[in-house]
Structure 1
Amino acid sequence: MKRIQFIGIILIMWTATFSVQNLADLSSEDWIEDIEYLEERLISIHPNPFFRIDRGVFQTSIEALEQSLEELSWYEIYTRLTEIVASIGDGHTVVYPQGSSTLYPIYTYWFSDGLYIIATSESEQRLLNSKVLEISGMKVDDALKALRRVVSHDNEWGFMNSHSDYLNKPEIMMGLGLADKDGNLVLKVENNGVVNEVLVEPQNTGFQWVQKRIEEIDRTYIGRKYWYQYYPDSKILHFHYASCGSEKGNPFIFFNFEMFLFTWTNAVDKLVIDLRGNGGGSSAILEPFILRMMIDWRLNRTGKLFVLIDRGTFSSAVLNAISLKKRTNAIFVGEPTGGSPRHYGEVKRFVLPNSGISVSCSSTYWRTTSDTSPAFMPDIIAIRSFEDYYYMRDLAMEAVESYRTEKEE
């Protein structure tokens, strides 16, 4: 069976935007008011804002920013604010990279063999599928270490999943000193054995992203929250659960009934629920599936039911994975999740009064499991190299196909 899997480049164009001119025009008094408001809201909303960072260290970073305002540019202040929020240490408490007017036309992904550019604008296709060796004269690992300070994440896999949404923002890269004062980014890249140093300039948003692999990507289901595909040769039913929500005009409870009816009217040897790239929503949406699966004597058996997870599995999708682990005989395949089994969530959003910067803050601690590890771990590890990606090999699905129980062997 061959499955064409879209890498999941959901390059969100945020509706909230900020004006460079507006932020540049803010006075120190305006920024101080925003900083104090940010501190008050974080401490009052978050159930335990100092579970990872010492309160004294946190307040020292705020005081240092306030004292440096006259010396800093608007983008340095913005980046420092992002870093302060990220220091809380959970992936839901975040200053999301704002929808600024420009982006670097590159989208990067970390594979088992390094960092690659997997999407560009049409004008920058020369960089497509290149391996990034250096960023502004720094080795990739060192540059990502600097970037890590501003990326809110639960664990290392969460950072790898989110890093590019910060790396392609000029204001962030300028604020970290990884781009020059004009916003230009210097990359050393390798493509087909040839190493080049290239200058990447910010482009106005609205350009079309280009992604090229060995075959055309199947875009049939982009924008859908759930769907299923049946592969007659392997008798695998592949249930994609891309978002923890119910579709308008196709409520999940009806979809779930139809899907299970399909399993009774067709030969299904294995059922796969795919939580890869599912960033959360409401964990209760999947409950009808889990309850129905618990009493399914045909498929709720070792070697019959599989759950695919990866670095993009986050928030409520992790809670769904935990529930499936507790209540079914599913085997988990893929990467560690970007969300932690125990995590802070149930976000509340607020806007800083003068800058208009939007902040999300966790308000609840989810302790639905005794597992205190940084990530929910798969039973079978399947992490792709760039070559696997380029030739559209789905290692997780290959592992499912080849899985045999001792009885079957």
Structure 2
Amino acid sequence: MKKLFLLFLGLASVPAAFSQGASGIDWAADLDYLARELPAKHCNLFAKYDRARFESAIDAIKASAGDDGDFATALKTQQLIARLGDSHTMLYFNQLINRQDILPLGLLWVSDGLYVIRTTAENKELLGHRLTAVGEAPVRTVIDSLSTLFTVDNEAMVKSMIPQLFPSLQLLEYFGFARNRQVELTLDGSITRTLKPSEPQQAAPAAFQPDSLPFALAARNVLFTDRYFPEEKIYYILYNSCWGRESEAEFNSREKAASLPSFTEFCEKAFGILQDNPVGKIIFDMRNNGGGNSAQGTAFIERLAGMLKQHPGIKTYVIIGRKTFSSAILNTMDFKKLTDAVIVGEETAGKPNHFGEVRSFQLPASKLTVAYSTKYFRRTDDEAGTITPDVRIEMSFADFTKGIDPVYEWIKAQ
């Protein structure tokens, strides 16, 4: 299954390939191709959106493409696709993002708002402050506009996507929140600052420095890892991706697979630790897991469920959050079905029942890629828009500053 948010990854590293003004692409050919191929290839494209409205919208985009230019036409096309209601189906417009138009603005969305945690040295006074407005628009208005660029299954999806989109000056200009290659930010309700793009190679980075980083945040970039806490008798599995050497070899590149960690070996290590150490609690953390191959997680959970039946005194906790999506949703449902695990954290971006098994094709003129779903996964009779945790806990900026993971602290206290 497709991992979450590939549409917007790498904004700062993609050169501009197309014009933002007058169009140089045969959009009529691309849009006709899209209107023909996407319904034919998708497993049920019009489950939530009427075909006639889709075709009418395609005609309207074609009619304005010459005046809009390539960038705006691509965004309008993605906005239409987003309205179809499948968060796995999308137009990848990365090629149109200009690396020279990326603002030095890294944002963290916590319980009390959007905070600046990365910028450049010349703007370091912004670090640790809450963003409240962009130009004349309250930050919520900007969020609502940017949210038209993806399928909004739930608020968790918005919280995960928006920090990735905000730094694109092109997007802010498209929606009218910036002009003249700069943007005025308001922070903490009263501090104003004009921000311009920085040359990526020349700008000295600056980052907000918390007192420390909790385990889940410090190791967020590895596929999976673990830690045994002997004093607490907690075995903590951090499962950031439903991927590994075996999945890469099966679905993609055997050559690349050799450089990835083996999930099979990790499983044997995990069950060895569970066998050889006193364990009172198991944590399985998927709050940063955007998906991959659900089968490897399912096999692990089935084996773990069998072990837990033999050791009923062990408590199990599954952590989910705004980045839990796709295959990680399926693995969360595995835990709910096979174990008595307590689900802790935030609502998931993904839905229990959802489209997936993504394939793609290329538009003939622009060469932009369109991803589409080939299967619908139905795991429950409840058509919920998210998985709601049994215990909802969200990090505040004060928690982040102090290096506190409130979810882990809650579990430790149980």
TM-score by length of 1: 0.87
* AA partner of residue 402 (structure 1): A
- The secondary structure found in structure 1 opposite 2:108 is strand
User: In 2 relative to 1, CA 185–299 (structure 1 residues): closer, same or farther, beyond 3 Å?
Assistant: farther
CA shift, 1:303, in A, is 6.4
In the other structure, the counterpart of 1:134 is 133
Separation in 2 of the partners of 1:319 and 1:384?
Answer: 24
CA shift digits 1:149-202 (9 cap, x unpaired)? 11234322112111222222222222222221x332221112xxx722222222
Counterpart contact for 1:160–1:311, Cα < 8 Å: yes
In the other structure, the counterpart of 1:160 is 159
In the other structure, the counterpart of 1:6 is none
Counterpart contact for 1:318–1:341, Cα < 8 Å: yes
In the other structure, the counterpart of 1:35 is 31
CA shift digits 1:116-153 (9 cap, x unpaired)? 22322444322222211112211111121111111234
Counterpart contact for 2:291–2:326, Cα < 8 Å: yes
Aligned runs of 1:173-322 on 2, under 5 Å? Answer: 173-180=172-179, 182-190=180-188, 195-205=190-200, 210-217=206-213, 221=219, 223-247=221-245, 248=258, 250-297=261-308, 301=312, 304-322=315-333
CA shift, 1:33, in A, is 1.3
- The secondary structure found in structure 1 opposite 2:91 is coil
In the other structure, the counterpart of 1:13 is 10
CA shift digits 1:224-261 (9 cap, x unpaired)? 21111111221111100110012446421221111111
In the alignment, structure 1 segments of 5+ residues that lack a partner are: 1-10, 404-409
Counterpart contact for 2:356–2:377, Cα < 8 Å: yes
In the other structure, the counterpart of 1:335 is 346
User: In 2 relative to 1, CA 283–397 (structure 1 residues): closer, same or farther, beyond 3 Å?
Assistant: same
Counterpart contact for 2:90–2:370, Cα < 8 Å: yes
Separation in 1 of the partners of 2:36 and 2:334?
Answer: 35
- The secondary structure found in structure 2 opposite 1:95 is strand
In the other structure, the counterpart of 1:406 is none
* AA partner of residue 233 (structure 1): E
Q: Pick which of 207-216 and 149-158 moved more.
A: 207-216
Separation in 1 of the partners of 2:205 and 2:299?
Answer: 37
Counterpart contact for 1:91–1:154, Cα < 8 Å: yes
Counterpart contact for 1:213–1:391, Cα < 8 Å: no
One of 70, 75, 89 as aligned partner of 1:74: 70
Counterpart contact for 2:18–2:70, Cα < 8 Å: no
Separation in 2 of the partners of 1:322 and 1:115?
Answer: 30
In the other structure, the counterpart of 1:47 is 43
In the other structure, the counterpart of 1:397 is 408
* AA partner of residue 187 (structure 2): V
CA shift, 1:31, in A, is 1.4
Counterpart contact for 1:293–1:300, Cα < 8 Å: no
In the other structure, the counterpart of 2:367 is 356
Separation in 2 of the partners of 1:299 and 1:167?
Answer: 49
User: In 2 relative to 1, CA 179–40 (structure 1 residues): closer, same or farther, beyond 3 Å?
Assistant: farther
Larger proportion of helix: 2
Separation in 2 of the partners of 1:347 and 1:323?
Answer: 21
In the alignment, structure 2 segments of 5+ residues that lack a partner are: 1-7, 246-257
- The secondary structure found in structure 2 opposite 1:359 is strand
In the other structure, the counterpart of 1:58 is 54
Counterpart contact for 1:244–1:316, Cα < 8 Å: yes
User: In 2 relative to 1, CA 301–348 (structure 1 residues): closer, same or farther, beyond 3 Å?
Assistant: same
* AA partner of residue 236 (structure 1): I
Q: Pick which of 39-48 and 314-323 moved more.
A: 39-48
In the other structure, the counterpart of 1:5 is none
Counterpart contact for 2:129–2:187, Cα < 8 Å: yes
* AA partner of residue 266 (structure 1): N
Separation in 2 of the partners of 1:359 and 1:183?
Answer: 29
Q: Pick which of 12-21 and 384-393 moved more.
A: 12-21
Separation in 2 of the partners of 1:331 and 1:271?
Answer: 10
Q: Pick which of 233-242 and 118-127 moved more.
A: 118-127
* AA partner of residue 153 (structure 2): D
- The secondary structure found in structure 2 opposite 1:295 is helix
- The secondary structure found in structure 2 opposite 1:203 is coil
In the other structure, the counterpart of 1:8 is none
Counterpart contact for 2:114–2:130, Cα < 8 Å: yes
* AA partner of residue 148 (structure 1): S
Separation in 2 of the partners of 1:387 and 1:185?
Answer: 27
CA shift, 1:209, in A, is 5.6
Counterpart contact for 2:352–2:385, Cα < 8 Å: yes
CA shift digits 1:331-388 (9 cap, x unpaired)? 1100010100000111112222222322221221111222310001111100122222
Aligned-pair identity (%):
28
* AA partner of residue 344 (structure 1): F
Counterpart contact for 1:22–1:355, Cα < 8 Å: no
User: In 2 relative to 1, CA 44–211 (structure 1 residues): closer, same or farther, beyond 3 Å?
Assistant: farther
Separation in 2 of the partners of 1:198 and 1:244?
Answer: 41
In the other structure, the counterpart of 1:3 is none
In the other structure, the counterpart of 1:149 is 148
